[in-house]
Amino acid sequence: MNGISRFFWFCSGAHLTTLEKHPTEHNKYLGIGATIFFTGLFAALSGGYAMYFVFKGGDFAWLFALFFGIIWGLAIFNMDRYIVSSINKNATTNKQIWQATPRILLAIMIGMVISRPLELKIFDKEIKERLNVSYLNGQRSKIDTLNKAFDKKYTIEIGKLNDAKAERDSLAAAIKSDRQKLNFEIFGNKTTETSGVMGYGPYAKRKEAELKQREQNLDTLTKDVRQMEKFVDGRKQFDGLMTEKLYTTKQLDSLSNIAGFADRNWALGQLSFNVDGTRDTNTAIAVTFIGLLFIFFECLPVFVKLMSSRGPYDHAVENIETTQVHLSDKDKEFELEVADGIHETRVSTEIEKRKEQIRNRARRDLNSEES
């Protein structure tokens, strides 16, 4: 237990030698250290999961995810440890709040970053369903766009084909109606357009000859329609319309499984809205609540440090820092006095040296004059 406690004390950024002398402060810094440690652990899981999606499908995706997760977790751990340990409990309340404000903002940003990948995993099923809808709508829109472009490109040909089909259908309907009237005439059914006399008379023969001619015209028109349809289908095949089809359920599942981080992040944002565009309040609250939970967890060490009262450990740290500052000042004074003494010695030595040089020069000048 002592080893675990010391580890969490280290995580809190406390001075271990000083903290050990104040047992009443042990639990407080143990809790702060544990919070910082688990925040780093969640960051490692979050970063590793995000990196796994970046390299998903590769042979060493898990290795990259593990490596990046460890690096990211250690970075967040070190940053949190610095944020908490840098808050000075010996300062006034206003100054502590001023010191903590930028650190809280930074903690909020860190909480948002580490919470997103974990949210992606929590709502994995809902994200895949939303991606399936998005991919299906995208494919449908693509097909519609291709069809509109094709219709615009071959407006004349498609217009002729539609006119020929309309003429064919109209001729086929007229032939069917006239064939029925001919049968009424042959079998003696009395109508406004038949005589009511049974038999295959001149009128019936004339009508049958007309029907045969019109049926030949219908066959010719049908062949023309088939040729035009063959041409249009060939153009569709050439432009790629025949190969574009709506995705099957299996294809949609495969696409959603290999979706990248950006697509999944977009889908997570869309979970707050229904497919028809209305607000999905329940899901929006759930996503927001999970994000706020991680943000609060990231800010918790700072809040705990701010809310905790000034204890004997903080007083001891203040004394140590005061002593160190005083010693530093004394060292400065010592070094200054030594520097001043050295400087004075150097100056006096240099003065004597130059005086001696002047005396020697004067002696040489005197000797030269006498000689």
Q: What CA–CA distances, in Å, run from 179 to 87, 113, 192, 201, 211?
A: 100, 78, 15, 15, 7
Q: Are residues 29 and 94 in the same domain?
A: yes
Predicted pLDDT at 70: 92
CA distance 78 to 84: 10
Q: Are residues 95 and 179 in the same domain?
A: no
Which of 289, 322, 304 minimizes the C-alpha distance to 87? 304
Predicted pLDDT at 244: 64
Q: Are residues 160 and 193 in the same domain?
A: yes
Q: Are residues 352 and 299 in the same domain?
A: no
Q: Are residues 111 and 215 in the same domain?
A: no
Q: Is residue 262 part of a domain?
A: no
Q: Is residue 265 part of a domain?
A: no
User: Angle CA(147)–CA(149)–CA(152) in degrees, nearest 5?
Assistant: 110
Q: Are residues 14 and 109 in the same domain?
A: yes
Q: Are residues 242 and 288 in the same domain?
A: no
Number of domains in the chain: 3
Q: What CA–CA distances, in Å, run from 146 to 82, 161, 172, 252?
A: 58, 19, 33, 21
- What would the two tokens of residue 341 be? 């003494």
CA distance 169 to 161: 12
Sorted by sequence, the CB contacts under 8 Å of residue 38 that are 6+ apart come out as 297
Predicted pLDDT at 103: 73
User: Angle CA(131)–CA(120)–CA(246) in degrees, nearest 5?
Assistant: 10
User: Which residues constitute the domain of residue 54?
Assistant: 3-126+278-311
Predicted pLDDT at 68: 87
Q: Is residue 220 part of a domain?
A: yes
Predicted pLDDT at 213: 80
Q: Is residue 296 part of a domain?
A: yes
Q: Is residue 72 part of a domain?
A: yes
Low-confidence residues in the chain, pLDDT < 50: none
Rg (CA), the chain: 46
- Taking the whole predicted model, whether its pTM rises above 0.95 is answered as no
Q: Is residue 199 part of a domain?
A: yes
Predicted pLDDT at 79: 83
Summarised one tens digit per residue, pLDDT across range 164-175 is 888 888 878 887
Q: Is residue 264 part of a domain?
A: no
Q: Are residues 169 and 119 in the same domain?
A: no
Q: Are residues 290 and 357 in the same domain?
A: no
Q: Are residues 35 and 109 in the same domain?
A: yes
Is the distance from CB of 59 to CB of 34 less than 8 angstroms? no
Q: Are residues 110 and 165 in the same domain?
A: no
Q: Are residues 194 and 216 in the same domain?
A: yes
Predicted pLDDT at 190: 57
Q: Within the chain, where are the H helices?
A: 2-12, 16-20, 26-54, 61-85, 93-122, 124-153, 155-186, 202-239, 249-257, 261-270, 281-307, 312-370
